[in-house]
Chains A and B, each alone.
Chain A
Amino acid sequence: MSAVLALLVDVCDAARVLGVHAEARHVETRDEALAVRNGEVSEVATDIAAGIGIRVRVGGGWGFAATREVSQAGVEAALTRAIAVARAQPVGVAGPFAELAHEPARGHWAGPCEVDPFALSLEERLAHLHAAEAALRTTTDDRLVVTTAHTRSRRTRTALATTDGAACTQERVETGAGIQAVAADGDETQVRSYPMSHDGDVLLAGWELVTSLDLVGNAPRVAQEAIELLSAPVCPEGVRDIVLHGEQLALQVHESIGHALELDRILLGEASYAGTSWVGADALRRSGTLTYGSEHLHVIADATLPAALGSFGWDDEGVAARRVPLIEEGVLLSALSNRQSAAEVGLAESGGCARADGFARQPIVRMTNVSLEPGSAGTLGDLLADTEDGLYLETNRSWSIDDRRLQFQFATEVAREIRGGELGRLYRNPSYAGVTPEFWGAMDAVCSASEWRPWSFTNCGKGEPGQVMAVSHGTAPARFRGVQVGVA
């Protein structure tokens, strides 16, 4: 057992003597961001943080204290502070807390990483970005105003001990990269990104992911499309059949299924900030009674999905990673839960979704990898060929959804007309809007497993104080009938 884990076990032992439930986590992160922008290295930044967070439950109340003092004195002071904070709260009704259904978390888990990005020289990684960014500028068109190539790597080492016997360690390396071109002319600004917007393609992986992306090869197309969009017609308003590319569909899953099925939201625990859910707790107590979408909608929360950002060995309450069907054939079966919320609705055990952002935040219900299972519509080409008239939307640009996760509006970087089963002209500023169960009810085809892959988002915000979490969603392109488009 490492010295840090022993320290955590000791402080949990001390808490047990006081009759206090405690979870002690040591988290050490190293985050490195590199970027080349308009021919110049714009960012070489490293963020290193380490510390201990202790969460306690005292007579039904909760307290959490975080400190960077990784020492006997530091953890003892944090335990004392956490208890004091818990006791300062007005007395409430002690809520239930699910017992661990399995053996306490013990051992070590590590995510996949073939080529450690932190072992590579800065020069090698910057050279890769320089080549990609230069390839964006192969055009001499002066309407191209910003070109960027970026990469990000994060290593997280966690140790966890709890008063109910957990004593485990984990290590994850996240790596990703992307390129982006911004074109401006008159009152118009357009952007194109590859492989996706947000932070680019990010997975539990090493530098091998970056070299597999062929940023250089894709750069000229990305720059050219940004320029083409400046003079493309605006996406017309109307009701159309749409085919969503996998990345945009992943964000749609994230916002209108993943968040809506977080059990703390359903139980109103997030009403002060992130919001609630259109799904009521009764729908979970009487599983199988709520129709979420069409018969093509199969959704699974899977914390064991290889290389995905929502994967781990144990969650931050010591619950082992698991695969939980959420929706089958459009019917709601389950939700994303931690030990507290699971107990509140009478579930036998936690869904293993307690995750915390660094050492200074406490675990809350977060998505694991909530994925739309592949269908049988074949390849993207097959799906487009099967679509007589519609729009193909690609690469997220804007997103917004109400606090019950019902009414949403998304915009993508680009849309292409589908006419007679073939892709046609480009449209700029495309957008679509809908209402969650109606939208998923209109999904009539999902591409097959050959088109399915995880797409990642590293910027999911929730909680107070705010927590940022990284998660992946497996999707294949899918078609939706009769969707309102051109709303923005």
Chain B
Amino acid sequence: MTGVLELGARALGLAAGCGDVQITVTRERSLLSRFARSVPTQATAVDDTSVSILVVRDGHTGSVETNDLSDDGLRAAASRAAAAALAAAQAAGGPGEHPGLPSPGEAGTPSSHEGFDAATADLDPAVGGAALATAFAITAEHDLEAFGIWTAGRVETAITTTTGLRVADDVTDAYLKVIARDARARSGWGAAAAVGIDGLDADSVTRQAVARVARVDPVALAPGAYDVVLEPDAVGSLLDMLGGLAFDGLAHAEGRSALTDRLESVVAAPCVTVTDAPLMVPGLPRAFDADGVTKGPLTLLDAGVARAVVHDRRSAARAGGDAVSTGHALAPGGSPYGARPTNLVLAGGSATGVDELIAGVERGLYVTRLWYLNVVHERSTTLTGTTRDGTFLIEDGRITKPVRDVRFTDSALGILERTQALTAATSLVCEADFYGRRAAHGCVVPALRASGLRVTGQTTG
């Protein structure tokens, strides 16, 4: 981490005279191997470092991010950021709402965590190659083809400020997914996410995907309300969407959040407790947010009762009262779109496994994963999306036949309100769709059973 801290210090020095400045250095090194039809298709290696310079002036911000790390490049970026903050201040004609950069005391001391793995940081492409070879061999044994990715990355982050903050974090992440598919387009899903490559068992992930490939053709299912058992990947997708819809402190402050007027009210079943646990393993630990504020555990839903929303420094200032940053800034200075939790954990329940959840369903659905979720209505947390890569009918407490993928349109909070049981075991699930700079995040969740999932359509063919 010395390198990114030194770069942060150098950039801060070059920004001298620009006012209140926060430097954020991010270095990504990553590998991603992609495969389809049991053949490697794309392999990507990235090595890039960027410096973000945030200037705060009279409560207004300007920012510039660059990967030109020369003195001239950084000096020019700092000048541009200062000019942006000045223009924002002049355009407003009065003080802005940004509360200023945190002092070391306000930011807190970053907690140590176990989010780094040295073997993963080596980024050896042969490790990925071996994982692919395993996936290809196992699927071939079952006359199936493998599709998916193996990826590993190391991201170093340093923040230095004119208020004296000087913090750094160094994290790794690894992810493998395998979709096994037969010639009739029937597919099954397996995935694993971890801090390190040792957490990816290609054999196990592939066998899980193979086991979920239906051996007979799927049947149609009429729209209606169905009891449902959701595997952790499906639960994680719902929880991730809920993170932005329900817990964004800016939306809450502006009266447009799902939890507006509902804090300290019952919004989910008593078996539902959701926390943001940024230091937990399994999980993808992070020491501080994009403002440099230390991260720590925060209870959001406690036995079904809404307890808190999350804030960055800017949204906390907007909310006023006793609101403070909870360490959830998504961008230096706070994202204009608000704050959100990035390490959500849904506590496990008492069910011994998915079979026990299934045993409690007279007629319903077993869903492996969800796809293309989008918000239909923010306040009610109504989402729509489809199932994918393994959807089955449950009859009389057991899985009886595959079902064509279905579309659902339902409230994410509503599903948690109708949750009846959860498995004791939880796992880390991660989407690993790395747009822009790699920023791995995931949810730690159990499988769950809920009543009355609203199925509104079905794919054909």
Residues of A near any B CB (own CB < 8 A): 35-37, 39-51, 61-68, 81-82, 84-86, 88-90, 92-93, 95, 121-123, 126-127, 130, 145-146, 182, 184, 187-189, 268-273, 275-276, 278, 360-362, 364, 398-404, 406-407, 409, 411, 429, 431, 433, 435, 461, 464-468, 487-488
Some 9 contacts from A to B, beta carbons below 8 A apart, are: A41-B88, A43-B336, A44-B88, A62-B42, A65-B46, A88-B126, A126-B91, A146-B254, A184-B255
User: In the complex, what residues of A have CB within 8 A of residue B62's CB?
Assistant: 44-45
* Chain A CB within 8 A of B452 CB: no
Closest to A271 in B: B147
Q: Which of A50, A92, A123, A488 contacts B384 (CB 8 A)?
A: A488
Q: Tell whether A84 pairs with B373 under 8 Å between CB atoms, given A48-B77, A90-B40.
A: no
The 8 closest A-B pairs by CB, nearest first: A88-B125, A466-B435, A89-B40, A41-B88, A122-B87, A92-B39, A44-B84, A465-B434
Q: Tell whether A407 pairs with B177 under 8 Å between CB atoms, given A189-B379, A268-B36, A431-B376.
A: no
In the assembled complex, the Cα of A89 lies from the Cα of B32 at a distance in Å of: 11
Number of interface residues, chain B, beta carbon within 8 A = 96
Closest to A409 in B: B384
In the assembled complex, the Cα of A397 lies from the Cα of B460 at a distance in Å of: 25
In the assembled complex, the Cα of A46 lies from the Cα of B88 at a distance in Å of: 13
One digit per residue, 1 when the CB lies within 8 angstroms of any chain A CB and 0 when it does not, for chain B 19-49 equals 0000000000011111111111111111111
User: In the complex, what residues of A have CB within 8 A of residue B164's CB?
Assistant: none
Q: Which of A90, A95, A360, A429 contacts B46 (CB 8 A)?
A: A360
Given contacts A89-B132, A398-B384, 5 further A-B contacts (CB under 8 A): A46-B80, A88-B124, A90-B129, A400-B374, A465-B151
Q: Which of A68, A146, A488 contacts B67 (CB 8 A)?
A: A68
In the assembled complex, the Cα of A487 lies from the Cα of B456 at a distance in Å of: 7
Q: Which of B35, B41, B45, B87 contacts A66 (CB 8 A)?
A: B45
Cβ of B129 and Cβ of A89 under 8 Å apart? yes
In the assembled complex, the Cα of A139 lies from the Cα of B274 at a distance in Å of: 40
User: In the complex, what residues of A have CB within 8 A of residue B181's CB?
Assistant: 268, 271
User: In the complex, what residues of A have CB within 8 A of residue B63's CB?
Assistant: 44-46
CB distance from B386 to the nearest CB of A (A): 5
Cβ of B456 and Cβ of A429 under 8 Å apart? no
* Chain A CB within 8 A of B128 CB: yes
Cβ of B457 and Cβ of A464 under 8 Å apart? no
CB distance from B205 to the nearest CB of A (A): 13
Q: Which of B36, B254, B376, B386 contacts A403 (CB 8 A)?
A: B386
Q: Tell whether A407 pairs with B407 under 8 Å between CB atoms, given A67-B47, A272-B179.
A: yes
User: In the complex, what residues of B have CB within 8 A of residue A467's CB?
Assistant: 435
Closest to B61 in A: A44
Q: Which of B77, B256, B377, B458 contacts A488 (CB 8 A)?
A: B377
In the assembled complex, the Cα of A457 lies from the Cα of B135 at a distance in Å of: 36
Q: Tell whether A64 pairs with B384 under 8 Å between CB atoms, given A90-B136, A402-B405.
A: no
User: In the complex, what residues of A have CB within 8 A of residue B44's CB?
Assistant: 64-66, 85, 361-362, 465
Cβ of B409 and Cβ of A41 under 8 Å apart? no
User: In the complex, what residues of B have CB within 8 A of residue A431's CB?
Assistant: 376
Q: Which of B38, B43, B376, B461 contacts A63 (CB 8 A)?
A: B43
User: In the complex, what residues of A have CB within 8 A of residue B433's CB?
Assistant: 273, 461, 464-466
Cβ of A48 and Cβ of B457 under 8 Å apart? no
Q: Tell whether A88 pairs with B147 under 8 Å between CB atoms, given A268-B36, A466-B435.
A: no
Q: Tell whether A188 pairs with B379 under 8 Å between CB atoms, given A90-B136, A409-B457, A465-B438.
A: yes
Cβ of A189 and Cβ of B378 under 8 Å apart? yes
One digit per residue, 1 when the CB lies within 8 angstroms of any chain A CB and 0 when it does not, for chain B 263-274 equals 000000000000
User: In the complex, what residues of B have CB within 8 A of residue A435's CB?
Assistant: 460
Cβ of B88 and Cβ of A272 under 8 Å apart? no
* Chain A CB within 8 A of B350 CB: no
User: In the complex, what residues of A have CB within 8 A of residue B457's CB?
Assistant: 407, 409, 433, 487
User: In the complex, what residues of B have CB within 8 A of residue A51's CB?
Assistant: 48, 67
CB distance from A120 to the nearest CB of B (A): 11
Cβ of B128 and Cβ of A88 under 8 Å apart? yes
Q: Tell whether A272 pairs with B36 under 8 Å between CB atoms, given A42-B336, A184-B255.
A: yes
Cβ of A465 and Cβ of B46 under 8 Å apart? yes
User: In the complex, what residues of B have CB within 8 A of residue A271's CB?
Assistant: 36, 147, 179, 181, 187
Q: Tell whether A122 pairs with B83 under 8 Å between CB atoms, given A44-B88, A189-B378.
A: yes
CB distance from B295 to the nearest CB of A (A): 23
Most buried by B among A126, A272, A404: A272
Q: Which of B47-70 contact A (CB under 8 A)?
A: 47-50, 60-69
User: In the complex, what residues of A have CB within 8 A of residue B67's CB?
Assistant: 48-51, 68
Cβ of A66 and Cβ of B47 under 8 Å apart? yes
Cβ of B147 and Cβ of A400 under 8 Å apart? no
User: In the complex, what residues of B have CB within 8 A of residue A407's CB?
Assistant: 386, 407, 457-460
* Chain A CB within 8 A of B380 CB: yes
User: In the complex, what residues of A have CB within 8 A of residue B43's CB?
Assistant: 61-64, 85-86, 88-89
Closest to A436 in B: B460
Cβ of B87 and Cβ of A123 under 8 Å apart? yes
* Chain A CB within 8 A of B422 CB: no
Closest to B410 in A: A488
Closest to A31 in B: B65
Cβ of B435 and Cβ of A461 under 8 Å apart? yes
User: In the complex, what residues of B have CB within 8 A of residue A41's CB?
Assistant: 60, 87-88, 91-92, 96
User: In the complex, what residues of A have CB within 8 A of residue B386's CB?
Assistant: 400, 402-403, 407
CB distance from A24 to the nearest CB of B (A): 14
Most buried by B among A66, A89, A95, A188: A89
User: In the complex, what residues of B have CB within 8 A of residue A92's CB?
Assistant: 38-40
User: In the complex, what residues of B have CB within 8 A of residue A44's CB?
Assistant: 61-63, 84-85, 87-88
* Chain A CB within 8 A of B375 CB: yes
Cβ of A362 and Cβ of B409 under 8 Å apart? no
* Chain A CB within 8 A of B149 CB: yes
Closest to A363 in B: B42
In the assembled complex, the Cα of A51 lies from the Cα of B407 at a distance in Å of: 42
In the assembled complex, the Cα of A442 lies from the Cα of B20 at a distance in Å of: 60
In the assembled complex, the Cα of A130 lies from the Cα of B457 at a distance in Å of: 44
* Chain A CB within 8 A of B278 CB: no
User: In the complex, what residues of A have CB within 8 A of residue B45's CB?
Assistant: 63-66, 81-82, 85
Cβ of B96 and Cβ of A40 under 8 Å apart? yes
User: In the complex, what residues of B have CB within 8 A of residue A45's CB?
Assistant: 62-65, 84
Q: Tell whether A272 pairs with B148 under 8 Å between CB atoms, given A398-B384, A407-B457.
A: yes
Cβ of B68 and Cβ of A269 under 8 Å apart? no
Cβ of B37 and Cβ of A268 under 8 Å apart? yes
Closest to A188 in B: B379
User: In the complex, what residues of A have CB within 8 A of residue B456's CB?
Assistant: 409, 433, 487-488
In the assembled complex, the Cα of A35 lies from the Cα of B65 at a distance in Å of: 17
Q: Tell whether A145 pairs with B46 under 8 Å between CB atoms, given A269-B41, A400-B374.
A: no
Closest to B149 in A: A464
In the assembled complex, the Cα of A61 lies from the Cα of B407 at a distance in Å of: 37
Cβ of B66 and Cβ of A488 under 8 Å apart? no
CB distance from B45 to the nearest CB of A (A): 4
Cβ of B256 and Cβ of A89 under 8 Å apart? no
In the assembled complex, the Cα of A50 lies from the Cα of B45 at a distance in Å of: 16
Q: Which of B30, B49, B125, B136 contacts A68 (CB 8 A)?
A: B49
Closest to A438 in B: B460
In the assembled complex, the Cα of A468 lies from the Cα of B41 at a distance in Å of: 19
User: In the complex, what residues of B have CB within 8 A of residue A90's CB?
Assistant: 40, 129, 132-133, 136
Q: Tell whether A88 pairs with B129 under 8 Å between CB atoms, given A272-B149, A487-B456.
A: yes
User: In the complex, what residues of A have CB within 8 A of residue B388's CB?
Assistant: 275, 402-403
User: In the complex, what residues of A have CB within 8 A of residue B81's CB?
Assistant: 46
Closest to B260 in A: A184
